[in-house]
């Protein structure tokens, strides 16, 4: 019973490098989210998706791109990493966005950009 799985768990990037974070869920959820957590800032929404093939911007989308080609996967891309993107990234999923549903979170990806 995997739930929400994030890959990788840790990564160190050099400034300017690119990478993709993978989120996979096995609960047949429609909604998926990417958050970043920084000290004193809580969890800030980067992008989210309300279904396969759809994505939308959250609070802090700049510098990130996402894709939802398959319902179970939500990819977060950094095209040119910057030190300001050093953070812990969390993916979450839920059945729907507007009624009586909680979101389930992955374990997080700790990304350091040097």
Partner 1 sequence: DQQVKQNSPSLSVQEGRISILNCDYTNSMFDYFLWYKKYPAEGPTFLISISSIKDKNEDGRFTVFLNKSAKHLSLHIVPSQPGDSAVYFCAARRYDMRFGAGTRLTVKP
Cβ neighbors of 60 (< 8 A, separation 6 or more) are 36, 44, 45, 46
Closest distance to partner 1 from the beta carbon of 80 (Å)? 26
Q: Using CA atoms, how far apart are residues 34 and 63, in angstroms rounded to an integer? A: 13
Site residues (vs partner 1, CB under 8 A) = 4, 33, 35, 40-45, 48, 50, 56, 58-59, 90, 92, 94, 97-108
Closest distance to partner 1 from the beta carbon of 39 (Å)? 9
C-beta of 51 vs 77, nearer to partner 1: 51
C-beta of 1 vs 98, nearer to partner 1: 98
| Nearest C-alpha neighbor of 29 from the set 77, 67, 73 | 73
């Amino acid at each position: 019973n995997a739930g929400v799985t994030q890959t990788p768990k840790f990564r160190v990037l050099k400034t300017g490098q690119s990478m993709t974070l993978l989120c996979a869920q096995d609960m047949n959820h429609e909604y998926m989210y990417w958050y970043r957590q920084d000290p004193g800032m809580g969890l800030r929404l980067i992008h989210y998706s309300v279904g396969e093939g759809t994505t939308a911007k959250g609070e802090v989308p700049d510098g990130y791109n996402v894709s939802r080609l398959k319902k179970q996967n939500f990819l977060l891309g950094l095209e040119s990493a910057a030190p300001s993107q050093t953070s812990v990234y969390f993916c979450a999923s839920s059945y729907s966005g507007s009624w009586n549903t909680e979101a389930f979170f992955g374990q997080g990806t700790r990304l350091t950009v040097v």
